[in-house]
Structure 1
Amino acid sequence: MQDSPDTAPSRQIADAIRSEITAGQLPPGGRLPTVRDLADRYGVSRNTASKALAILKTEGLITARTGSGAYVREQHPIRRLGPDRYARHRWQVTTVTAHADDLPGSATVEQQGGQTQEVALVEADRTIADALGVEVGAPVYERARVMTRDGAPTHTMTSYYRREDVEGTSITDPRPGIAGQGGGFAVLVSRGLAPHEITEDLSARMPTTEEALLLELPVGEPVVEVCRTTRTAEGRPIEYARGVHAASRFVWSFTYPIPD
């Protein structure tokens, strides 16, 4: 009779190591015992010890460094995201407030935000066309960024605009950093297209290989994809954006009245 998954030696070893990590006995960045040491400590085969580490790696608690061993995953400040991040007074702000953990009221730290930028004129696919109200294949500007906090990548954001809305503006400038002095929304205001309403759809999934490399994600960490459509007060769509966020770096927080 085989052991159940919950009582298998590899699971028991993983549970024990997880407890040490949670209690702070193995701190972030700390090196774990080798497979050989774990096998000797728990009186199991090296294969069983390897399975225990694989469990923790899949859970995102540890990372492996080729030729060096396994380490407790470093903890990163968490940013709470809500509607206030789109407030007009924040359009020129390049610093963000992050929290020590995902609990309200936890210690905060100010981090410097940054972004790369690639701009191209592309053909709208069905999703982009529907969001912007243009024909499939119509030329739209694509503005792709990798966002960072204190130099560490946290998420990607790729925005799409109607060509006539942003042609010749700083939104089409490929230099790193926010567009112009006030960011993309301020540029749209200058064109008579003031952002007024935003619709966001959030979904969780596992990252692609490219996304995992770009965001430096450990094995097993999911991402949250955010699709955003921005409209004017008249309901005219002026931007469609897709963001891919490292799940461990963000918490989405919304407060709103309960509808009738």
Structure 2
Amino acid sequence: MTGEIAAAMDLPAGTEVVVRRRHLYNHETGKPEEIGASYILTSIGGGTYLEEPTVVPKALLLCIEELSGKRYATARDHWLSRLPTGEEASALELPTGAPVMQVIHVARAEDGTVLEVSESVWPADRIVVIDEYPVEPEPSEPDTPSEV
């Protein structure tokens, strides 16, 4: 587990976790589209079917809710455009200098417990981000400071 993922999980780097890796391909072209991994605390997924290299019986979040006895309450996605690692460039069949988009998704229970951290990487030229939100008629002070 990288330091970035460990920090997202509120754990020291090198802590043992259950990791479910995936490589997704375009069904029509067979080209690689996404590489990713989900990181789950061993207290939730250790010794369970989540450690098996097989498809899980239902959506991963439902498996984690069932095993942890907790429900997903909040999620935070951190998006980053960057150059790929050599391994990522090879897996995604990218030409030299082609950027990727990375998202680190942190899902928490109502009590703030991290239930799952997932990381996905896509070729940047295949990503579209759509951001839709209400526009308030009157300006107001923000609840929290900007992270910019």
TM-score normalised by length of structure 1: 0.47
Q: Deviations over 1:95-152 (max 9, x none)?
A: xxxxxxxxxxxxxxxxxxxxxxxxxxxxx55433332233443221222211222032
The alignment's C-alpha RMSD in Å is 2.0
Q: Deviations over 1:148-173 (max 9, x none)?
A: 22032111112211101112333211
1:160 corresponds to which letter in structure 2?
Y
Which of 216, 223, 229 is residue 106 of structure 2 equivalent to? 229
Q: Name the structure where helix makes up a greater proportion of residues.
A: 1
d(CA) in 2 for partners of 1:164 and 1:203? 29
Matches within 5 A, 1:106-185: 124-150=1-27, 151-175=30-54, 177=55, 180-185=56-61
Say if 2:62 is the partner of 1:186. Answer: yes
Q: Return 5+ residue gaps in structure 2 as ranges.
A: 141-148
Q: Return 5+ residue gaps in structure 1 as ranges.
A: 1-123
Which structure carries more relative contact order (alpha carbon 8 Å, separation 6+)? 2
**Identical residues among aligned pairs (%):** 28
d(CA) in 2 for partners of 1:170 and 1:246? 31
**Conserved 8 A contact 1:197-1:231:** yes
Number of residue pairs the alignment of both structures matches: 134
TM-score normalised by length of structure 2: 0.78
Secondary structure of the structure 2 residue equivalent to 1:251: coil
Secondary structure of the structure 2 residue equivalent to 1:212: helix
d(CA) in 2 for partners of 1:244 and 1:250? 10
Bigger radius of gyration among the two: 1
d(CA) in 1 for partners of 2:26 and 2:38? 19
Q: Which residue of 2 aligns with 1:208?
A: 85
Query: 1:258, CA displacement in angstroms?
Result: 4.4
1:210 corresponds to which letter in structure 2?
E
d(CA) in 2 for partners of 1:136 and 1:220? 29
